[in-house]
Amino acid sequence: MTSVEQFRDNNRIEPERWAALSVLRFLLSVGVMLIHLGIIEPREWGLLWYPVLLARYIGGNLLVGSFFFISGFSIAQSSYRHSTKQFYKRRFWRIYPVYWLALSLALLPFLFWGSTIDLGNYQITLHSIRIILLNAFMLHMIVGGVMSSFGPAWSMGMEEVYYFFAPAIKKLPREILIALILISALYFRYKLSGTSSWSAYRHGVGIFGLLWTWLLGWAVSLYSKNNWLRLLLFVLPVSLFAHLPLANSIGLTTVVLVLSVMTCVFNIRLARGIRNICTFVGDLSFEIYMLHFPVICLLRPLTNSLNPWLYVASILAVSTVVLVFIDRPLRRRGYAGT
């Protein structure tokens, strides 16, 4: 039996758990979108106010941190199921086409409304060619910084580094993996836990400071039957996130919910149709996360509208079109042979 076959036998994840994680990814991406809708300063939120309020209570940092847990969990599975070449190929086709499309949309407003655009309580500025290229190749969290119209790209700049080292992380003994988690967690507590803006930490500071979140998801994916590791999975995030500015019980409960789905055993069985719907909205989460900010930056000066429903409907429509007609067809072709 090969190592890949042994991994599949010992670390099999139920389809229902993947379905639940897909739904969580969708909800997390919608939460980030709702927080960023605040930049247009709507006069009336209507019924949207309640989910917006909930998203704000949870906080953008905890929403993205929860993404990192799920990402590490799923990438660990992918790295063991494919060769290094196949893994990188699949990551490229999963990330870059949508990412580059979102980057193009983020630059589009400057073609029509000049190099500085006021969006309400937020201002976007056209950056230099150097900054644009650094963002294009996801080097902006190492040097340069994130484009103002491409805000959510900061987390992708971190995750891309984690993806790059995933084949090497796969070879680490469990003890070294846990040591890395603890060292990164201590660094986070010292360097990042006192700020509300993780996106501001460049030169690798944020990348290493948040590495523990991603590696913790990775470790639980591989060693889910280890009770000590499962205990660490809950104690470490809650104890560290509790020191964040504006930390509250709602945000910490959300983190615990995500971690619980990653570790619990699903005894229920979902119909294939329901699992397919969950997979679809899970896939849609990446489009929503990457495209919502550029769409807001484009629509605000174009329509001058303060109706938040217009932005939500436009973001969901654009994200769905991109997923169905661009992302999935390209992935089918790119994944061929992997």
**C-beta separation of 191 from 205 below 8 A:** yes
Using pLDDT thresholds of 50, 70 and 90, give the confidence band for residue 268: confident
- State mean pLDDT over 169-196: 91
For residue 2, the model assigns a pLDDT of 44
Using pLDDT thresholds of 50, 70 and 90, give the confidence band for residue 14: confident
For residue 1, the model assigns a pLDDT of 42
Q: Is residue 171 over pLDDT 70?
A: yes
Question: Bigger pLDDT: 29 or 191?
Answer: 29
Query: Has residue 62 been placed in a domain?
Result: yes
For residue 10, the model assigns a pLDDT of 57
| Boundaries of domain holding 192 | 15-334
Query: Has residue 28 been placed in a domain?
Result: yes
Using pLDDT thresholds of 50, 70 and 90, give the confidence band for residue 196: low
Q: Is residue 62 over pLDDT 60?
A: yes
- H helical segments located in the chain: 3-10, 15-36, 49-58, 60-81, 84-107, 109-113, 129-136, 153-169, 174-191, 205-209, 211-222, 227-241, 249-263, 272-303, 308-322, 328-334
66 half-sphere exposure, CB direction, 13 A CA radius: 29
Instruction: Kindly give, in sequence order, each residue whose CB lies less than 8 Å from that of residue 127, ignoring residues fewer than 6 positions away.
Output: 147, 148
Query: Has residue 7 been placed in a domain?
Result: no
Considering the chain, what percentage of its residues have pLDDT values greater than 90? 72
Query: Has residue 3 been placed in a domain?
Result: no
The rounded distance, in Å, linking the Cα atoms of 337 and 83 is 11
For the segment 64-122, what is each residue's pLDDT rounded down to a tens digit? 999 999 999 999 999 999 999 999 999 999 999 999 999 999 999 999 999 999 988 88
For the segment 136-154, what is each residue's pLDDT rounded down to a tens digit? 999 999 988 899 999 889 9
For residue 194, the model assigns a pLDDT of 75
For residue 226, the model assigns a pLDDT of 78
Query: Has residue 210 been placed in a domain?
Result: yes
For residue 266, report the phi and psi dihedrals to the nearest 5 degrees: -95, 115
Query: Has residue 152 been placed in a domain?
Result: yes
- State mean pLDDT over 231-238: 90
Using pLDDT thresholds of 50, 70 and 90, give the confidence band for residue 245: confident
Mean pLDDT rounded to a whole number for the chain: 91
For residue 117, what are the β-bridge partners? 124
Residue 196 carries which DSSP code? S
- State mean pLDDT over 205-227: 90
The rounded distance, in Å, linking the Cα atoms of 69 and 232 is 13
For residue 159, the model assigns a pLDDT of 96
Which of the residue ranges 119-128, 157-166, 180-189, 272-281 would you say has the lowest mean pLDDT? 119-128
Query: Has residue 6 been placed in a domain?
Result: no
**C-beta separation of 74 from 279 below 8 A:** no
Number of domains in the chain: 1
For the segment 290-315, what is each residue's pLDDT rounded down to a tens digit? 999 999 999 999 888 889 999 999 99
The rounded distance, in Å, linking the Cα atoms of 232 and 223 is 12
Using pLDDT thresholds of 50, 70 and 90, give the confidence band for residue 7: low
Considering the chain, what percentage of its residues have pLDDT values greater than 70? 95
Query: Has residue 25 been placed in a domain?
Result: yes
